[in-house]
A and B are shown apart, each in its own frame.
Chain A
Amino acid sequence: MKHDIGCLHAIEAFYAYLDGEIDDPDAIAEFEHHLDHCRSCFSRIEMERALRQRIQKTAKNDSPEVLRDRVAKLMKKF
């Protein structure tokens, strides 16, 4: 049976987990085990994940054609 890390420890690891900054597979497994058993932390990570995806989708922009042309012309001079 896996050890439950508890909510306080989980909160500490929330953002590192979301950002893929936890390298230790055992630490990831322990964190996910906690999520499987804690509705509050599961809901919170879902909210954080949704917000993260929304930020990503909203703040992504294609560069305008005028900039691409400008940079292409610039690089021809190199």
Chain B
Amino acid sequence: MTDHETKAFFAGGVERHIDSMYSVALRLTRTSTDAEDLVAESVAKAWASVDTLNDQARFRPWIFRIMHNTFISDYRKKSIRPIEASFNDGKNDDDDLATLLNEQSDDFLIWWSNPEREFFNNLLGEQLLEALDDLPEAFRAVILLVNVEGFTYDETAEVLGIAPGTVRSRMKRGRTLLQKALWEQRPGSHEGMNHET
């Protein structure tokens, strides 16, 4: 590839993925200005290391990995909320996970099936973002990459530098934590009532 072709390929890749990068950056940093800085800084770093892109078909996971590494080194500390310290990383928690899936999700399912489903349809957008933003970063990142951006587990593992099995367990636990948060926000629950006042 000539330099011109490399630049054209790189610019095309950035153009295709800039919305996805910004969406993920916004939910990771939780502020639009930091998200813009993170994306711009990541594009600059990616171009500086474009020689490390061995397979052009892997452009998306490659540039997201650079963005995630940039987030960790330059933005993570600023974005951490105190509540995150109370969560573990999903390791050694299979029993806990099974309990949450079998008990809490049943409750959520009952709620989903009843007339309050209207609440889900009308109000969940705002609450969903709040619940998503409150998730510990380890779970938020996999949900954003897999659920929102459609990365495979293998691609997500590549982006985050973790094993595919860890992506799988974080997806399960992240979804369960998200459902738990939404369940606690439903009308009539102590937390939900507090939200309405």
Footprint of B on A, CB under 8 Å?
Answer: 11, 15-16, 19-21, 43-44, 47-48, 50-52, 54-64, 66-68, 70-71, 74-75, 78
Given contacts A54-B124, A58-B125, A78-B10, contact A67 B36 (CB under 8 A): yes
Whether A61 lies near B22 (C-beta < 8 A) is yes
Report the contact-size class of chain B (Cβ under 8 Å from the partner): 35 or more
B114 → chain A closest CB, angstroms:
12
A-B pairs with beta carbons under 8 Å apart, 20 shown: A20-B152, A21-B168, A47-B113, A51-B175, A51-B179, A55-B128, A56-B147, A58-B128, A59-B129, A60-B148, A61-B22, A61-B26, A62-B19, A64-B22, A74-B40, A74-B44, A75-B7, A75-B11, A75-B14, A78-B10
Per-residue CB proximity of B3-23 to A under 8 Å, as 1/0? 000010011001000110111
A31 → chain B closest CB, angstroms:
16
Chain B CB within 10 Å, residue with most, of A59, A60, A78: A59
Per-residue CB proximity of B88-112 to A under 8 Å, as 1/0? 0000000000000110010011001
Chain B facing A: main interface SS: helix
From B7, B146, B148, B168, give the contact of A78 (CB < 8 A). Answer: B7
Residues in A neighbouring B43, C-beta threshold 8 A: 71, 74-75
Residue of B nearest to A57 (CB): B125
Footprint of A on B, CB under 8 Å?
Answer: 7, 10-11, 14, 18-19, 21-23, 26-27, 32, 36, 39-40, 43-44, 47, 101-102, 105, 108-109, 112-113, 120, 124-125, 128-129, 132, 143-144, 146-148, 152-153, 168, 171-172, 175, 178-179
Task: Report the tally of A-B residue pairs with Cβ distances under 8 A.
Answer: 99
Residues in B neighbouring A11, C-beta threshold 8 A: 101-102
Chain A facing B: main interface SS: helix
Given contacts A44-B109, A55-B148, contact A71 B39 (CB under 8 A): yes
Residues in B neighbouring A70, C-beta threshold 8 A: 36, 40
From B19, B132, B152, B179, give the contact of A61 (CB < 8 A). Answer: B19
